[in-house]
Structure 1
Amino acid sequence: MTASWVGVVALAAKRERSRMMVMDELEKMVVVRW
């Protein structure tokens, strides 16, 4: 993963009150990437 990608994920996690939703979206993105 690139540093910028991780940065975007961190910002999204901080902004979103429900981290579970973010993680769910991330899992979908990871599945698509892999």
Structure 2
Amino acid sequence: MVAIVKVTGSGQITIPAAMRRKHNIEQGDRILVA
């Protein structure tokens, strides 16, 4: 899956609102960058 993400200074990525809605991901959830 190709997803546009915002990389934060802490090394985490946040999922844009559109992607959160599409995948039913709760707002504020973050995925740690391995």
| Normalised-by-shorter TM-score class | under 0.3
Q: TM-score, normalization: structure 1?
A: 0.27
**Quick check: which one's helix share is greater?**
1
Q: TM-score, normalization: structure 2?
A: 0.27
Question: Greater RCO between the two (CA within 8 Å, min separation 6)?
Answer: 2
